[in-house]
Amino acid sequence: MTIAITGATGQLGRLVLAQLQSRAPQADIVALARNPGKAEGLGVPVREADYDRPETLGPALAGIETLLLISASEVGKRVPQHQAVIDAAKVTGVKRIVYTSLLHAPTSGIGLAEEHRATEAYLAASGLEITILRNGWYTENYAGALGGALHTGAIIGSAGTGRISAATRADYAEAAAVAVLDSTTTGQVFELAGDTAFTMDELAQAVAKVAGKPVVYQDLPVADYAKALAGMGLPEGLAQAIAGWDVAIAQGALFDDSHTLSRLIGRPTADLDSSVRALLA
């Protein structure tokens, strides 16, 4: 099997690559990167693949059977970028694409879901064999907030009592490797999320417990949260988007109790305390 991974130099991509190398050492694995210079030390061949330069995508995908398309990082540009990769895959003879989408993408109120819905639809119409991995929230998404909370004593947000079924990048990376290597996952959609959901208040309690310092969750009106984020230096548009995501979270957008992720990887997902401990280390 010849496998390629987009975004191989990213935080998730590097973890997936390590999982594939440990699970299928004989497989032909190719790392695709916009900047191959950042791919030193990956231990596999590296090919340039720039979403915004379609002429790089055909050569990058030549001879590839299975492609792991890790969703691009540039919000607002992802649909044309993903479509360029899918188009190149069809032309070069890629047989299967495994795509990392968003938890409950078809119905999610999180603004990020729009681009994932469009990509899933494009994949469905592509004629290729596909596997959809709808990843929930990464616990690591809260790394910045937890660090700040140790100084301020508070985590802020607008998520109310919404429950968040987060898991670590390592959990999702292992699931991606399993799906890539198991052809029986073809044609399936996996809603992936952590085993144990938590509220933001429970996250604050876990931080206080691990750090041995008082930390609370302060729930704010969405406009106040957006203003606070902008005050921290985030562009106004991004601050408003993040605050909007919290509104969807409050309504249950990131809750899932199917345990599909832990069944796929054959072990429980990381618990909240251990995840917080790793983030604070």
pLDDT at site 160 = 97
Average pLDDT over residues 93-109: 97
The percent of residues above 90 in pLDDT, for the chain, comes to: 91
CATH number for the domain whose boundaries are 2-136+168-191? 3.40.50.720
pLDDT at site 1 = 85
- pTM of the predicted model as reported, rounded to 2 decimal places: 0.96
pLDDT at site 37 = 86
What superfamily in CATH does domain 141-163+195-256+266-280 come from?
Answer: UDP-galactose 4-epimerase, domain 1 (3.90.25.10)
Asked whether 52 and 91 are in contact (CB, 8 A), the reply is no
Span 122-166, pLDDT tens digits: 999 999 999 999 999 999 999 989 988 999 999 999 999 999 999
Domain range summary for the chain, segments of one domain joined by + = 2-136+168-191, 141-163+195-256+266-280
What is the dihedral angle through the alpha carbons of 85, 90, 94, 95, rounded to the nearest 10 degrees?
A: 120
pLDDT at site 195 = 98
Which residues are registered as beta bridge partners of 67? 4, 97
Q: How confident is the model at residue 116 (pLDDT cuts 50, 70, 90)?
A: very high
Token pair 């995908």 is found at 61
Asked whether 225 and 155 are in contact (CB, 8 A), the reply is no
Structure token digits, residue 85? 């990769």
Span 175-226, pLDDT tens digits: 999 999 999 999 999 999 999 999 999 999 999 999 999 999 999 999 999 9
